[in-house]
Each structure stands twice: as C-alpha cells, then as structure tokens.
C-alpha cells in the first residue's frame, strides 16, 4: 500500500502541481480582470499539467506529448513576446506622459514668470497671447546694478538733516535706502563720512527680459537636465504635443472685488494635460477669484 502511494506521488505530483497552479491563475485572472497574455499563460500552465497527467497515466504516447508540448511551447513563446511588447508599450506610454507633464509644467512656470514681471513693472497682466509674446521677446525689466556695501554705522546728525529734515533719534545702523540717497549727496560736509560711499553704487537699469531669464546658462542647463527642447518664445503659448494648434487658456479679469471696497486684477492660465481627456487632468496656475498664482502641479 505504501509503495503504491509512493509511486502515485512520484507520477502525479508534478502534473498535479501544474494543474493546481493553472487553475489558481485562471481564477485570479478572471477575478482581477487580467489581460489576455496573463490568461493565456494560465491556460498553458493548465494544459501542461493535463498533458503531464495523461502521459504519466499512460493514456498519452510520448510522440503525442512532444507534438502537443511543442505546440504549447510555441504558443508560450508567442505569448511571452506579446507580453513583453505590451509591457514595453506601457512603459513607453508612461514615459511619454511623464515627459509631457514635465514640459507642460515648465511652460506654465515660464508663463507665470513673464506675467509676474509684467505685473511688477506695469501693474497689469498681459491679456492676449500676442501681447504676451511681444513682451517676452522685446520687453525689459528693471535690474539694480550693485557695487559696494552699506557702511556699517549710524547716520550722522548732518546726514539725518539731509535725509529727514528733523530731530529724530538715530539708534539703528544705516539702511540700504539711506545709503543710496547719501551716496548721491555731493555736499556732505564731513569728508570722512562722505568717503564711506566711495565705490558704493546702486543704479536701476532696464534689462532685456528674454536674455536675463531665458538666455542664461543656468536656465538652458535646467531645460537640458529635464530633457526639454530649445526654448522658443513663439511656442510658449501652445500646449505641448498639440502641433502648435491648442493654446493655453489665458484669462485676465480686472477689478475683481475682494471684500467691500478692495479690488484686484486676477490671472488664470489653464489647459488640458497632453494625451489626457478628463477634466481632472487639467493643468493651471492662478485663479479668477483671487490673487493666488499657485500651480496645480505644486499641490500634487
């Protein structure tokens, strides 16, 4: 009896294992809605178990086993190839989606920068893409050229009279603003104090915005690290991968009431994320109802 049981275990243990695994894979595949390559692998596993069981029982000849096994092997190879291709396609799609998100995010960051610089200089946001592109390519922004440091002392009584014309107490060290005004005072009666401003200069000049931001080595290196293409001012208005046909939606609203008497100008730039269609995949920064310019990507 024991010998018979031992023989049965040796003959049918491997086929039984394949059958059980095949059945379990089929159950899991149906319940979890796996793709067809997974289901084919489960079926092939079940077939392998069935063929092994038939061969072990003597009901299947070796020639037939080789034939059926060969067919199953070919099917397994095909399934493996198709599965590998499917996985590669999935990875490529995910990589493309990730890159499109990175590109779109950088676009919105750059658009926000230009709008903020225009607002700081003019007190308004650019309302059309043509105005935006014109300012981006030809606009200027103020830049403070700086030389020297603020003297590390308090202002003298003579300097106080020049700056303020009163008898206020002078308890704190000189500020940047005071130093700028005093450096331009050509009639300072104290030569020693006047000498503190030798080499000190603060001048505001107008700088080409495009070159100062988008033409710098740091910005270009940043784009290169992200794998982005060369920066084109005329293309910034377009959503990536739209072939230059779909613009970001630009919304500027003047005199939005905040409270009873306070009014502000608001800005919102939005658009659908490339390769996506659901409303939940919208990307934007700003708001039509507040001065907030936070981007959706910053909340993820």
Domain residues of the chain, as ranges?
2-91, 96-139+210-299, 149-198
Report d(CA 125, CA 114) in Å as an integer.
Answer: 9
Helix (H) or strand (E) holding 2: helix 2-31
Per-residue pLDDT tens over the stretch 4-42: 556 555 556 666 766 677 677 678 767 877 666 667 766
In the predicted model, is pLDDT for residue 90 greater than 70? no
pLDDT for position 33: 73
**Residue-averaged pLDDT of the chain:** 82
pLDDT for position 205: 81
- The average pLDDT across 76-84 equals 60
Using CA atoms, how far residue 159 sits from 130, 146, 148, in Å, is 50, 22, 19
Q: pTM value?
A: 0.61
Report d(CA 115, CA 291) in Å as an integer.
Answer: 13
Inter-residue contact 114 to 285 (CB < 8 Å): no
pLDDT for position 35: 67
């Amino acid at each position: 009896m024991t010998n018979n049981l031992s023989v049965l275990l040796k003959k049918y243990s491997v086929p039984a294992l394949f059958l059980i695994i095949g059945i379990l894979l089929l159950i899991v595949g149906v319940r979890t809605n796996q793709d067809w390559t997974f289901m084919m692998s489960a079926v092939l596993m079940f077939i392998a178990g069935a063929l092994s069981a038939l061969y072990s029982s003597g009901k299947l000849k070796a020639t037939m086993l080789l034939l059926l096994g060969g067919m199953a092997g070919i099917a397994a190879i095909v399934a493996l190839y198709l599965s590998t291709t499917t996985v590669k396609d999935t990875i490529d799609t995910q990589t493309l989606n990730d890159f499109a998100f990175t590109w779109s995010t950088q676009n919105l960051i750059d658009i926000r920068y230009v709008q903020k610089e225009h607002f700081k200089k003019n007190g308004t946001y650019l309302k059309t893409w043509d105005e935006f592109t014109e300012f981006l390519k030809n606009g200027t922004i103020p830049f403070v050229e700086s030389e020297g440091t603020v003297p590390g002392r308090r202002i003298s009584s003579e300097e106080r009279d020049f700056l303020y014309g009163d008898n206020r107490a002078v308890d704190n060290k000189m500020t940047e603003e005071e130093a700028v005004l005093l450096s331009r005072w050509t009639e300072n009666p104290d030569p020693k104090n006047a000498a503190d401003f030798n080499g000190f200069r603060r001048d505001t000049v107008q700088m080409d915005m495009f070159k100062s931001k988008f033409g710098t080595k740091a910005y270009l290196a940043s784009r290169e690290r992200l794998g982005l293409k060369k920066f084109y001012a005329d293309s910034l208005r377009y959503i990536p991968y739209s072939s230059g046909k779909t613009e970001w939606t630009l919304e500027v609203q003047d005199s939005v009431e905040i409270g009873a008497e306070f009014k502000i100008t608001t800005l919102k730039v939005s658009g659908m994320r490339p390769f996506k269609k659901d409303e939940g995949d919208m990307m934007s920064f700003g708001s039509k109802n507040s001065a907030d310019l936070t981007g959706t990507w910053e909340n993820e």
